[in-house]
Structure 1
Amino acid sequence: MRDFPSPGFELGPNAYGKSGIRVVRVMRDAPRHDLRDLTVHTSLTGRFDAVHHRGDNTAVLPTDTQKNTVYAFAREGIGTPEAFAERLARHFVDTAGPVETARVRVEEQTWTRTGDHSFARGSGGEMRTAEVTYDGEAHVTAGIEHLLLLNTTGSEFNGFLTDAYTTLPETDDRVLATEVAAAWDYTATGDCDRDFARARAALTEAFADTYSLSLQQTLYAVGERILKAVPGAREVRLTMPNRHHHLFDLAPFGLDNPGLVFHAADRPYGLIEGTVRRERP
C-alpha cells in the first residue's frame, strides 16, 4: 500500500460532512405546541491528508456521527438557527482533534399555525437560513431564500444596449417578479430573530417602494435597505432571478390585451446577482 502521494502531486482544499439532515423538533411543554422544521448540513476541514493518501480513517469523524450529533443537540433545544449552527460547529472543532474548521448550515421552513397543535405549510416556500463557520472564532451568516416577490406595475426596462441579435422591445410598464436569495454577514451575533425580522421587512418594503428602471437598481435598493435595518451586518449578497411575465398575444382571437393576461415563463430567465456593502473607512 502506498504511504504517500506520488511526486509532483499534493492534496488541495478538501472537506467532508453530512448533508440534508432533516430535523423536526416539537416543543410540548405547554398545551399550545411549537414546531421547528430544519435541514442541517455539516462540513469539516482539518488534518485529513492520511485518509486521502492511504485510506487511514483514524482522523475521520464519521458523517453518521455528525448526523447523530445534530439530533442529540436538537433534543436540548434549537434556539435561533444561528445559535444552533454555532453550537454544532463549536462542538465538532472542540471535541474532534483533527478537525480545524467546521461549517454548519441550517435551513428553516416555516409552518403556519392552524390550532394549538396543528400546522400547515405548502410545498416549497420561503426559507430562513443561517451558516456558521468556526475555527476558534465564529463567523456568522444569516439569510433568506425562495422569497417570491412581484410588482404588477412600477417597473420599466428601456434604453438598453442593442445589437444585431436584439429583439426585446422596450417597455415603460411591466410585471417585475423575482425569487430572492439574500445573505448577510455579522461582525458579531446579537438578537438574530430581531435582525432577521427587520431584514425581511426591509427587503420586501424596498422591493415594493422602488420604482424600478432595472432589476439591478432594485437589487441595490434592497441591499442598502437591509444594511440600514441591520447595523451589525457588513454586507448583503443578493441573487434575484428575473421571473419573466410576457404579455400574451390575444390578437389572433380578436381580443385586445391591455396588460391583463401574461404568460409566466419558467425558463430561461435573467439572473441578477450583486453585493451591497458598507463603505470601508
Structure 2
Amino acid sequence: MPVLGHTQYGKAEVRVVRIFRETDPHEIVDHNVSVALSGDFADTHLTGDNSKVLTTDAIKNTVNAFAKEAGDAVRTPELFGLALARHFTEVDQVSRVRVQVETYPWRRLEHAGVPHPHAFARDGGHVRTTTVTRSSAGQEWVVSGVRGLVVLKTTDSEFHTFYADRYTTLAPTTDRVMATEVTSQWWHATPPADFDAAHCAVVGAIASAFAGHHSLALQQTLYAMGTEVLAAEPGIGEIRFSLPNKHHFLLDLEPFGLKNPGEVFHADDRPYGLIEGTVRRDDEPDPGPAFDPGQGW
C-alpha cells in the first residue's frame, strides 16, 4: 500500500523591493524570497482536508508585509530570513521552515560625476544567497552564499600528470587560462555579529585565494579557497563550492599567417568540467538540515 513520504509546500520567488525613503540618499534592497513549510499537512494530500493549510497566498503576503514590519532586518537577508522563519514556526502545525533569499545588488548612478541620491542601476555582479532553516523547537541554521561570481586569471594555472586512458586526448599544460563561476554556500556554526561584514569577508577571501594560489588543478584551488575562508571567518563550520570550468581554448591563427603566443582564445560555455567539494572544520558536527540534500549546492 502506498504511504506518504516527506512533503513541503510554500510560495516560491516572491520578489520584494524595499526603498528606504527616510534616508538621504535613498537606499534600495531587492530580494527574491522562497518559503517552504513542513509539518502536519498529511490530510491535505490523503483526504483533501485543507483545514491546517496556511495558504501560499498568505505566505506571499507575509513576505511583503515583513518587508515593512521587519524594519532594518530587511536590509540583511540572513536577518530577514530569520524574522520570517521565526514567524512561520509559530504556526502550530508547522514543524520546520526553510526560507531562501536571493539578494540582487544595485549601484548608484552618477550625474555630473557625482553619485545620484535617487537613481540606481542593477549591478551585473554576483548574487548574494541565503537559506535559513528553523524547527518548531527553536533550532536555527543559517547558510549564506554567493552565486554568479565569475573569476579568471591569465596565468599561474597548470593541469598535467593526470590519469589517461585510451579516450584521453587533452594535452597537459603548465600555463593556462583558468576561469570559473563560483557558486558557494557556507554554514554559520556560530552566527556572526554582522552578517554583511562576514559576507564581504568571505567573498574577499574567495577572491584572494583564487588570485594568489598557483593552481595545479581547479580542485586544488577549491580547497585553497575554502581554507582561506575558514581562516578569515572562525564562525563558519563548513563551506561548499560548485565550480564549472569556463574553458578558454587557444585559437589557431596560423591559417591567417599570425602567431598566437597565448593571446587569443575561444571562450566555450559547454560542455564544461564541473568541480564540486566541501571544506569543513574537523571539530564541527554535521550541519544537518543546514545543507538539506534537496537544496542542491
Q: What's the counterpart of residue 244 of structure 1? A: 247
State how 1:30-45 maps to structure 2 within 5 Å: 30-45=23-38
Find the aligned partners of 1:121 and 1:264 in 2 and give their Cα distance. 25
Structure 1: gaps of 5 or more residues: 1-7
Q: CA deviation at 1:116?
A: 0.6
Q: What's the counterpart of residue 227 of structure 2? A: 224
Letter in 2 for 1:184: W
Find the aligned partners of 1:134 and 1:43 in 2 and give their Cα distance. 11
Contact 2:107 2:123 in 1 (8 A): no
Find the aligned partners of 2:220 and 2:23 in 1 and give their Cα distance. 47
Contact 1:140 1:188 in 2 (8 A): no
Q: CA deviation at 1:97?
A: 1.6
Find the aligned partners of 1:30 and 1:182 in 2 and give their Cα distance. 33
1:214 aligns with 2:187: no
Candidates 54, 65, 71, aligned match of 2:47: 54
Q: TM-score, normalised by structure 2?
A: 0.89
1:71 aligns with 2:64: yes
Q: What's the counterpart of residue 5 of structure 1? A: none
Candidates 169, 172, 186, aligned match of 2:171: 169
Find the aligned partners of 1:231 and 1:165 in 2 and give their Cα distance. 44
Q: What's the counterpart of residue 10 of structure 1? A: 3
Find the aligned partners of 2:230 and 2:190 in 1 and give their Cα distance. 14
Find the aligned partners of 2:282 and 2:169 in 1 and give their Cα distance. 39
Q: CA deviation at 1:122?
A: 4.8
Q: What's the counterpart of residue 187 of structure 1? A: 189
Q: What's the counterpart of residue 295 of structure 2? A: none
Find the aligned partners of 1:228 and 1:151 in 2 and give their Cα distance. 23
**Residue deviations 1:159-190 (CA, integer Å, cap 9, x gap):** 11111111111111110000001111112322
Q: What's the counterpart of residue 97 of structure 1? A: 92
Q: CA deviation at 1:61?
A: 0.7
Q: CA deviation at 1:274?
A: 0.3
Q: CA deviation at 1:54?
A: 1.0
**Residue deviations 1:15-47 (CA, integer Å, cap 9, x gap):** 001111111110001230001011001000001
Q: What's the counterpart of residue 199 of structure 2? A: 196
Contact 1:42 1:102 in 2 (8 A): yes
Identity across matched positions, percent: 50
Letter in 1 for 2:100: R
CA RMSD of aligned residues (A): 1.1
Find the aligned partners of 2:167 and 2:190 in 1 and give their Cα distance. 49
Find the aligned partners of 1:113 and 1:199 in 2 and give their Cα distance. 24
Q: What's the counterpart of residue 102 of structure 2? A: 107
Find the aligned partners of 2:123 and 2:236 in 1 and give their Cα distance. 31
Secondary structure of the residue that 2:276 maps to in structure 1?
strand
1:268 aligns with 2:295: no
Contact 2:249 2:266 in 1 (8 A): yes
Find the aligned partners of 1:18 and 1:33 in 2 and give their Cα distance. 29
Structure 2: gaps of 5 or more residues: 110-115, 285-297
Find the aligned partners of 1:38 and 1:79 in 2 and give their Cα distance. 9
Letter in 2 for 1:183: Q
Find the aligned partners of 1:266 and 1:14 in 2 and give their Cα distance. 36
Q: CA deviation at 1:129?
A: 1.0
